[in-house]
């Protein structure tokens, strides 16, 4: 059953990136993240009460609280970096970098969760890494003028995308430890509460809180829809993570790149180069080998 939840997580995660991109054309990415988190938080706690897990809060042990909070902080940092990168970079370049967190997750799962690393997984990691590299390469036929104008921005989104991948990997490992013996829906709701606090602290620290009133109705709609998609992805993801191995659940979740690439072409007309297509194929093959 955890496989079904893992694939459900991948679908919703893929949709999230597109909806979020539509919602941050003019809206500050940190503000959008904070607003989205409100939606995710409501979604998460509604489900907790639906399954009757709210009574378990008093039973949560100290070390579980610690790892859930740390996981929430890592998630918040990953989100803030990811949506900053998404605001200035192409979806079909930012997403592959973010999904490369699979590689680091496997290493951390081996070191801290004692999950085995087989020769097949090593081959998978190499394929995913090589695929990611090919996908973020510039198109050979790009115009020089356009390249010059984007030169400064490229360094910025690339840095944030890489940081997003690092924090996403930490989120998976900390979350795996934090939901051991705990209802996954309740764990998700607690983590989301931490993310909400962190996101709004960043908004007020950067003095962007007044821009909330300036969000257009259309962008607010997309931000809220991306929050709902994120909530669905999270709930599926942590249910899968609770029942299945992190080194398999995480790669399946990263297949959301297929959904994202497809929608980025339909919505934003972002086309993959031949290198990009080859890179995407390597990522998919590497992921499927890891699932096996």
Residue-wise pLDDT for 4-39, tens only, equals 898 899 999 889 989 988 988 889 999 999 999 999
Residue 262 has pLDDT above 80, yes or no: yes
Structural domain including 173 reads: 2-291
Residue position matching structure tokens 């039973």: 59
Give the end-to-end CA distance of the chain in Å, rounded to a whole number.
Answer: 16
Centre a 10 Å sphere on the Cβ of residue 69 and count the other Cβ atoms it contains: 17
Kindly report the pTM of this predicted structure.
0.76
Q: Give the tokens for residue 113.
A: 């969760």
Average pLDDT, the chain: 84
The answer to whether 246 touches 109, Cβ cutoff 8 Å, is: yes
Closest CA to 94 of 24, 199, 173: 24
Give which of 254, 244, 237 is closest to 71, Cα–Cα: 237
The runs of H, that is alpha helices, within the chain are 2-23, 29-50, 62-88, 91-99, 101-112, 119-135, 144-178, 184-205, 217-243, 246-253, 256-268, 274-291
Q: pLDDT for 96-143, tens place per residue?
A: 888 778 788 888 888 887 777 788 888 988 998 898 888 876 654 444
- The packing angle between helices 62-88 and 144-178, to 10°, is 170
Give, as one character, the DSSP assignment of residue 58: G
* pLDDT reported for residue 138: 61
Q: In the chain, how many domains are there?
A: 1
Q: How far is CA 88 from the centre of its chain?
A: 17
């Amino acid at each position: 059953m955890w496989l079904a939840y893992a694939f459900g997580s991948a679908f919703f995660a893929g949709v999230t990136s597109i909806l979020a991109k539509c919602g941050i054309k003019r809206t500050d990415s940190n503000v959008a993240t904070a607003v989205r988190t409100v939606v995710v938080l409501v979604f998460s706690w509604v489900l907790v009460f639906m399954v009757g897990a709210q009574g378990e809060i008093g039973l949560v042990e100290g070390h579980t609280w610690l790892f859930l909070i740390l996981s929430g902080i890592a998630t918040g940092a990953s989100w803030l970096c990811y949506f900053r990168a998404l605001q200035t970079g192409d979806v079909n370049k930012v997403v592959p970098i973010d999904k490369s967190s699979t590689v680091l997750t496997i290493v951390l799962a081996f070191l801290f969760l004692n999950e085995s690393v087989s020769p097949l997984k090593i081959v998978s990691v190499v394929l995913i890494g090589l695929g990611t590299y090919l996908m973020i390469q510039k198109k050979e036929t790009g115009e020089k003028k356009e390249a010059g104008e984007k030169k400064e921005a490229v360094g910025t989104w690339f840095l944030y995308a890489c940081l997003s991948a690092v924090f996403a990997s930490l989120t998976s490992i900390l979350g795996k430890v934090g939901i051991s013996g705990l209802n996954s829906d309740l764990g998700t709701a607690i983590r989301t509460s931490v993310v909400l606090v962190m996101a709004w602290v960043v908004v007020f620290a950067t003095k962007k809180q007044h821009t909330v009133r300036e969000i257009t109705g259309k962008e607010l709609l997309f931000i809220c829809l991306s929050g709902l998609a994120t909530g669905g992805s999270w709930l599926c993801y942590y249910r899968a993570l609770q029942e299945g191995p992190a080194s398999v659940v995480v790669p399946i979740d990263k297949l959301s790149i297929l959904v994202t690439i497809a929608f980025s072409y339909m919505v934003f007309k972002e086309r993959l180069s031949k290198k990009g297509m080859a890179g995407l194929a390597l990522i998919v093959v590497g992921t499927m080998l890891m699932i096996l």
